[in-house]
Amino acid sequence: MFSFIKKNFAIIFIILFIIIFSVFNKQDFIKNYEVKNNLENKKISLKQNLENFNLDNISDIKNLKFFYTPYKWLLDKIIYKINNSKTRVYVEVYMLTEKRIKSALVKAYNRWIDVKIVLEKSPYKATNINNKHFNFLRDSWIDIVWSNPDLYSLNHSKFMILDDEVMISSGNFTYSTFVFNRDLFLFTDDKKVLDDFLKIFIWDFSQRINLVYSDNLVLSPDYSRFKFRKMFEKANESIDMYFQYLQDEKLEKLLIKKAKSWIEIRLIVSENFWNDDKNKIKYLEKNNIKIKPLFKTKMHSKSILIDWKYLFIWSINFSSYSMDKNRETGLIFTNKNLINDFNKLFEKDFAKKL
């Protein structure tokens, strides 16, 4: 045994050094960003912020860029950003299976970039889909953790922090997102947005409860339902929405109430929802709501445009679980150029013949 240790001393030393370094690095990471986590005080502060929330206070987000899929070039763009990262790449996502993204993350780690990942352990109806990818990244020495099921039913977030830039999306980091799906992506280096998403990531990575608030931020399970209600109440002319399905009675009633007050409501839904829930489709149409399915391209977007003025893009499905039990993230903004780009895409999809 002694001769084995002596013969392989250098290898054993390196392995022990990496293990010790990773443990202390994780603790230092949490400690360096530690803030007073007095939950009761934060709940009081959140309540006050929500009482003062008004869509009129929503502002533009600096340096915000909008992309959509299917668009394989966007995958190339993300790979390029990972490959050229200088300090950190933090990932919090529901599904991470795309080979090139995984490879780029490992290469970044091998360049001494700080790579950390929060991954959902048990995606709905695909319980084991992330397992081998988690193991691959863990075995590549990347600091990866499962999301905490005691905090959220599912961690359905989809964002990445690349140095001082945040990427927020409705899509997972899978090959199909970029090649087959209609998904929406936002990139920004806005300092407030960056700070908010760093806080979200840090506390989810450390598997502890924290409440992060910003007027531009939409967060489940904390206050997405509240902001949904506020946005529907604000609509005076139109509501345009992308969503896969509608499985929340309260939201459905809000939509119908607005349609009855002569607000134009247009929905683009998934082909599955269109085919499998005909009764609900007919009921919504009967209440003056216009609905179109997106055929051929898999509809996975989640967004709302209110009065061509306020745009919401996020990971949140229109379901009770998404709003009240899951970890979900997204943004609200008023950037006119991006709203124009979004509107062109929506009009194009809505004009497609059945």
Judgement on whether residues 299 and 182 belong to the same structural domain of the protein: no
Structural domain boundaries, residue 317: 219-350
Query: Six-digit token pair at 335?
Result: 């950037």
Judgement on whether residues 225 and 197 belong to the same structural domain of the protein: no
Asked if the structure places residue 93 within a domain, the reply is yes
Q: Which of 215, 241, 264 is the last residue of a domain?
A: 215
Q: Which of 179, 196, 215 is the last residue of a domain?
A: 215
pLDDT along the chain (354 residues), means of 10: 55 54 55 59 88 92 98 97 98 98 98 98 96 98 97 97 98 98 98 97 92 95 95 95 96 95 97 96 97 95 97 96 97 97 97 86
Query: Six-digit token pair at 333?
Result: 């903004």
Judgement on whether residues 147 and 245 belong to the same structural domain of the protein: no
CA nearest neighbour of 10 among 172, 58, 18:
18
Say what the pLDDT of residue 354 is. 78
Asked if the structure places residue 298 within a domain, the reply is yes
Asked if the structure places residue 10 within a domain, the reply is no
Asked if the structure places residue 36 within a domain, the reply is no
Judgement on whether residues 204 and 305 belong to the same structural domain of the protein: no
CA distance 216 to 61: 8
Asked if the structure places residue 7 within a domain, the reply is no
Judgement on whether residues 185 and 237 belong to the same structural domain of the protein: no
CA nearest neighbour of 158 among 226, 88, 94, 233:
94
CA distance 292 to 266: 8
Judgement on whether residues 149 and 67 belong to the same structural domain of the protein: yes
- List % helix, strand, coil for the chain (3-state, nearest 5): 45, 25, 30
Say what the pLDDT of residue 263 is. 96
CA distance 243 to 269: 5
326: left (phi over 0), alpha (psi -120 to 50) or beta: beta
Say what the pLDDT of residue 40 is. 78
Judgement on whether residues 94 and 173 belong to the same structural domain of the protein: yes
Strands 143-146 and 114-119: parallel
The answer to whether the Cα torsion of 81, 82, 83, 84 is positive or negative is: positive
Say what the pLDDT of residue 100 is. 98
Judgement on whether residues 285 and 225 belong to the same structural domain of the protein: yes
Say what the pLDDT of residue 35 is. 47
Number of domains, the chain: 2
Asked if the structure places residue 103 within a domain, the reply is yes
CATH number reported for the structural domain that contains residue 250 in this entry: 3.30.870.10
- Sheet containing 289-294: give its strands across: 217-220, 328-333, 310-314, 303-306, 238-242, 264-270, 289-294
State which H helix or E strand residue 282 sits in.
helix 278-286
Judgement on whether residues 184 and 231 belong to the same structural domain of the protein: no
pTM comes to 0.90
User: Is 258 in a helix, a strand, or coil?
Assistant: helix
Asked if the structure places residue 49 within a domain, the reply is no
Asked if the structure places residue 32 within a domain, the reply is no
Judgement on whether residues 204 and 224 belong to the same structural domain of the protein: no
Q: Which of 215, 233, 255 is the last residue of a domain?
A: 215
Judgement on whether residues 253 and 140 belong to the same structural domain of the protein: no
Say what the pLDDT of residue 37 is. 54
Strands 165-169 and 158-162: antiparallel
Judgement on whether residues 138 and 119 belong to the same structural domain of the protein: yes
